[in-house]
Each structure stands twice: as C-alpha cells, then as structure tokens.
Amino acid sequence: MGDPVHMPRDHVQHVERSAHGAGAPAGDPGFAPAVPPSRGAGPEPDPATETPFLELLARGASAEAYEQPVLLARAEGWSADRIAALERAKALALRVRAELEGRRRREAELSALFETAHDLAGLRDLDAVLRAIVQRARSLLGTDVAYLSLNDPARGDTYMRVTEGSVAARFQQLRLGMGEGLGGLVAQTARPYVTEDYFNDDRFRHTRTIDTGVRDEGLVAILGVPLMLGHHVIGVLYAADRRARVFEREQIALLGSFAALAAAAIDSANLLAETRSAVADLEHANEIIRDRSAVIERASDVHDRLAELVLRGGGVHDVAAAVSEVLDGTVEFAEAAVAPSRALEASRTDGHAVRHRDDWVAAVTAGGELLGALVLRGHPGLDPVDQRTLERAAMVTSLLLLARRSAAEAEQRVRGELLDDLLDARDRDPRLLRERARRLRADLDTTHTVLAARLDGPAADAGQAADARRRLWAAASHLAATGQGLAAARDGGTVLLLPLGPRDTATDVARRTARQLGTAVHETVTVGASAPVGDLATRPETVAAAYTEARRCLDALRLLGRSGDGAAAEDFGFLGLLLAGDRDVAGFVERTIGPVAAYDERRGTDLLRTLDAYFACGMSPARTKDELHVHVNTVAQRLDRVGRLLGDDWQSPARALEIQLALRLHRLSAPTRH
C-alpha cells in the first residue's frame, strides 16, 4: 500500500477536497461514472462501474483517490447493488494497484542490487562502492538516513565508515562497543534488529555517548542488519527515520541483500589488497635476489683484487682505489687523527663499518691499536654485502700497515739512535750527522722544536704502564716519520724533534702533537715544547738544552693541572722557572685569591677580571674603567668588594705581588681553547 507522505502533492490536495464534500474538477473522469447512474436500476452488474478504477490505475493515482467514485455514487443515490458492485471493482483495482506497485518496487530493488553487483565486479574504489550501497539502500527504503559501520578487531568495537543523510558531526564519529546500542547488539549477535522507538527500547544497552549521537541526529526508528563474511560479522548496515516507523519484512530482507553485497565488496577489496601486496612482495624479492647476485659478484671481484694487491706488495692507497671501483664510490684512507672520532671509535668497538652522515667509516686496527680508517664518501645507502666488503678491505689495509710497520720499526730505531746521539752530543761531525738525517728524510739545517711527551692516564699495573709507553713511542715514531722529524724513548716518555712550518709556532706544534698522540694511543698525553732551535748539525748540544726546556714546560703544564694539553716555554716566561719542581700551585692560588674566585663563581660577577685590568693599568681606576668600558664608580665598587673579600691590606706591595702572581697562575691553569 502506498504511503500518503510520499504521494504527489496534487493527489493529496484532491483527496482533501473530496473529504470535505467539495465538487470534483470539471472534465476529470476519475471522479464520476462515465454513465450517470439511473435510480431504481436492477441488480445486474454495470460494466461502467469499472471504468473509473481503470482510469485511476492508468493514471497511477493514490490509494485514497479510489474512494472518490464510491463517494460520488452514494451522493448520487445509487442503488445498494450498484454500490456493492462499485466496492467490488474498487477492491479489485486496489489489489491490482498493490500488485503493480510491488512489482515496480521489486524491479527497482533488483535494478539497484544489479547495479551494486556491477559496481562490485569492477571494484576500484571501496569507499565509492560502499557509498553507493548506502545511498541506494536509503533511496529504496525511503528513510531519512542510512549508514554503515565496520568492526575494529584491534579495539574491540565498531565505528562509522559511511553515512548518507546524516547532519550531526558527533553521530558521524560514533564508536559502538560490542553490545552497546542497536548496532553494537547486531555486531555482537550477528542478527538483524529493528526498533520503532530507539529511546524507549530496552533490548539493548544504552550509553550516554551513543544516545547523545542518536539524539543529535534526531533518529527514532532504526533498522540494522549484519555484514557477514562466513560466520564472522565485519560490520552493520543501517536504515533509520526521524519518526516512528514499522519496517516490513521485505524491507529488512532488502537491506540484508545490500549488506551481503557490502560484505562482498569489503572482502573483494581485502583480497585485492592482499594480492597486490603479495605481487609487490614478490617483485621486491626478485629485486633483492638480482641485487644480491650483483653484490656477490662485486664481493668476489674485490676479493680477487685485494688478494692480488697483497701478493704484489700494493699499498694502502691501492686498496682504497680497488674498493672505490668495486663499490662505485670514493674510498680514502684517513689517519686516526683526521677521521670522524665518534664513528671511528664505534667502528673500532663493534668491528663493523659505521655510517657517519653520508659516509661510511671502517676502522683499521691491529692488536687493539687504531691505525686509521677507510672512509667511503657520499654513499649513505650501502648494501650489507658492500658494507662487509669495506670491512674486509679495512682488514687487508691493517695487514699492509703491519707489514710496513715491521720495516718501519728498523727505521724508527735508526731515527731514535740519531736523536739519542744529538741529545748526548756524541757525534760532532756535522757532515756525518747531515748524511744520517738525509737517509731518514730529515733536514737538520731547518728550524726545529724539541718536544717532551708523557702519558698522564693512570695505569692499573706495571705491565699496562709499560705497554702504554710502547704504544706512545710507536705513535711518536710514526708521527716523526710522517713529519720528517725524529723520535726516541727517554725518561719514561718520548722526545720528538719536529721541523717548524712557515706559519707554525712551537705552541702550535705542541698542541697539535698532544692531540695526535692522544688520539693514537687513546690516553691523555701532555706535551711541552722548547723554543725554536736551528743549526743542529753544527751545534748538536742545543738539542739537549732544548729538551731540558721542553721537560720544564711539561712539568709546568702538569703542575697547573693542564694534562692532555700542549704548550711551549714561551707561553710561561719567568714562571716556567718558578714552576720547576714540585710546588703546590693550586693551594697558593686558593689561599691568595680563592675568596674572589668563589664570589665570581657564586654571583656571576667579574671581580677577577677587574683585578687583572686594575694591575695591568698600573692600579689606576681611571684607566681601568676605560679598559673595562664601565663607569669609574663601578670600578670603585668592585675594588671595594675585593677589599672586603681579601682584607684591607690587599694593595700593599707584598700582597699585590702575590695577588698578581696568583692571577697569572689562575689564568694559565684555565683550559686552553683550541
């Protein structure tokens, strides 16, 4: 039967006029018999009584319009028999109308199902198919809203996936726990549920969140059917109205058919996604196999090349060139002092190549000693097999370096013997000294500095201390050989004779040597340097004097607590003489200016800097304020604070000398920035 809410507006108005006794519009054959009834006619059926209903059927009039011929006949005073015949014709016409409407509805439903199945067969976009299903379900069932939710196995609930006709944002974002609300009950029981009045239905569990969302949407009557894959519920398809409504069995069955198609669409999409993923995985696996084959061929190639290099006596740079060609990149050998320190240490500890930014670093080690590194430049995406190739090349490099070392140790002993002779002034023949130095690629006629180096790290036992000294001597010998200098072991440390470059100072060489030796032996190495010396071939005795000066500078650094640093005698001036021997420098500084240093540390003030400037400006507050770029009153206030911290006699000659010496020692003991 038709629903008057969905009738055409002209039909509804027509029915209302008839109900109030209004006359029918002129010329409308649907509201009067084609042949006027005659009073007192016999009971024989009149075929003309069927004509109005046939015309109503032809026009597709509403069910209410079929009452008009009967009402008009009664108004005209038809006989009871003819009115009865008219009633029978009306009933028959309504049955025919209902049958036609049912067929049209089933035709529309089958057409919609066919279109949905067609969409499913050509599935490209799952969301588009689900939206089409929800839209068609809403249209065919004539509901205000239709929507679809899917189960979330990870969270154990169901959530909105597609809505049609919804106007409330909160409703569109609802999540229903299993058993909560009508949808949760459908998802839990795998059975369809329908309610004519949601808020007065106690068959399912109401929650504040769900009820609020349903109330925002204004829904009253709700039908929900499960989306099934086998025996498993994957979601729920709904049709809902904002007024009370009874859903018929045919409508429930129709929504169930749409739900089956939606489940099939989801299953097809999942299978399609799995198939695509499997195909992608297979393609990726094939790519990996092809890449691995190529990498293994490269690894075999580099193995053959490295073996050939070792057999024919190739060098470190030959190894780097061969690996560069195989890895299609630039491989360089780097000394330990210039390689990235963190990556180098990590590679040394793990025994594998380590990535550093866009480079790869493989430590070259031998017996725990760090000899350098092979660095692959600009190749961040290194294959594991290629990484292993770089590591093997580092091992070959270490073997070559050890072979070189065995030959170099003899040369180092010769270098040490020459330096020992210079220190002891045993060979005074300048020509012979120059010849011995020339064979070692050293030039005694250029300007040099003598350096005294010593380990400052604690040793666990005598054996470890001796081993550390041997490593220091080996590193110093290597440094001397590469720098065209000489090195020897002496006085529990090492002594080096290194040439000065055009822009080098003795201080520069001392600091650089401390860093390089410390990196090579992984210990704290302190280095003291002499003033520049020259003409060593004709005046070899100057080497011994310079070594004494370098040792005094080394002692001064250690007394000042600057272990691991490097300095030259020129950095200390007359203080170098004062610091020779065992003196409590730290205690003297603390006793003399400790209160001022502590006040600066605690308050963040500049009293020590003010004192330095004050004495440097001849104890003149006026010149001091210019030096510090402050007001003279500020200088006076700071000096007054110093007086309260050190005592009223702090500017007396004796105290002033002690304070100036303590200030100089304090400044020298501060870590050098370089």
Q: Is the pLDDT of residue 200 over 80?
A: yes
Task: List, in order, residues 6 or more apart from 188 with CB less than 8 Å away.
Answer: 178, 179, 233
Please check whether residue 488 is in contact with residue 495, taking contact to mean a CB–CB distance below 8 angstroms.
yes
Mean pLDDT of 434-452: 86
- What mean pLDDT, rounded, does the chain reach? 80
Q: What is the pLDDT of residue 171?
A: 92
Model confidence at 276, pLDDT cuts 50, 70, 90, reads confident
Q: What is the pLDDT of residue 36?
A: 43
| 621 compared with 56, residue with greater pLDDT | 621
Please check whether residue 509 is in contact with residue 421, taking contact to mean a CB–CB distance below 8 angstroms.
no
Model confidence at 257, pLDDT cuts 50, 70, 90, reads confident
Q: Among positive and negative, which fits the CA dihedral 122, 123, 124, 128?
A: positive
pLDDT-wise least confident of 115-119, 263-267, 352-356, 496-500: 115-119
Q: Is the pLDDT of residue 9 over 70?
A: no
Q: What are phi and psi of 444, to 5 degrees?
A: -75, -10
Helix (H/G/I), strand (E/B), else coil: 527: strand
Rounded-to-integer distance, Cα 79 and Cα 37, Å: 9
Rounded-to-integer distance, Cα 523 and Cα 455, Å: 7
Q: How do the residues of the chain divide into helix, strand and coil, expressed in percent and rounded to 5?
A: 60, 15, 25
Q: Is the pLDDT of residue 3 over 80?
A: no
Tokens of 657: 């000398």
Q: What is the pLDDT of residue 672?
A: 57
pLDDT, tens only, 217-228: 999 999 999 999
Model confidence at 427, pLDDT cuts 50, 70, 90, reads low
pLDDT, tens only, 608-637: 999 999 999 999 999 999 999 999 999 999
Q: Is the pLDDT of residue 118 over 70?
A: no
Model confidence at 41, pLDDT cuts 50, 70, 90, reads very low
Q: What is the pLDDT of residue 217?
A: 93
Rounded-to-integer distance, Cα 427 and Cα 436, Å: 11
Q: What is the pLDDT of residue 636?
A: 92
Q: What is the pLDDT of residue 19?
A: 34
Please check whether residue 570 is in contact with residue 506, taking contact to mean a CB–CB distance below 8 angstroms.
yes
Task: List, in order, residues 6 or more apart from 74 with CB less than 8 Å away.
Answer: 83
Taking CA 110 as the corner, what is the angle to CA 109 and CA 111, rounded to the nearest 5 degrees?
Answer: 90
Buried b (16+ CB within 10 A) or exposed e, 404-435: ebeebeeebeebbebbebbbeeeeeebeebbe
pLDDT, tens only, 536-567: 878 878 888 888 888 888 888 888 888 889 98
pLDDT-wise least confident of 199-203, 259-263, 445-449, 511-515: 259-263
Q: What is the pLDDT of residue 128?
A: 80
Mean pLDDT of 649-659: 88
Buried b (16+ CB within 10 A) or exposed e, 639-654: bebbeebbeeebbeee
Q: Is the pLDDT of residue 578 over 70?
A: no
pTM for this model (two decimals):
0.37
pLDDT-wise least confident of 93-102, 186-195, 631-640: 93-102
Of the candidates 350, 397, 341, the one whose C-alpha atom is nearest the C-alpha of residue 371 is 397
Q: What is the pLDDT of residue 438?
A: 83
pLDDT-wise least confident of 6-20, 238-252, 491-505, 576-590: 6-20
Please check whether residue 398 is in contact with residue 310, taking contact to mean a CB–CB distance below 8 angstroms.
no
| Best-predicted range by mean pLDDT (86-95, 293-302, 370-379, 607-616) | 607-616
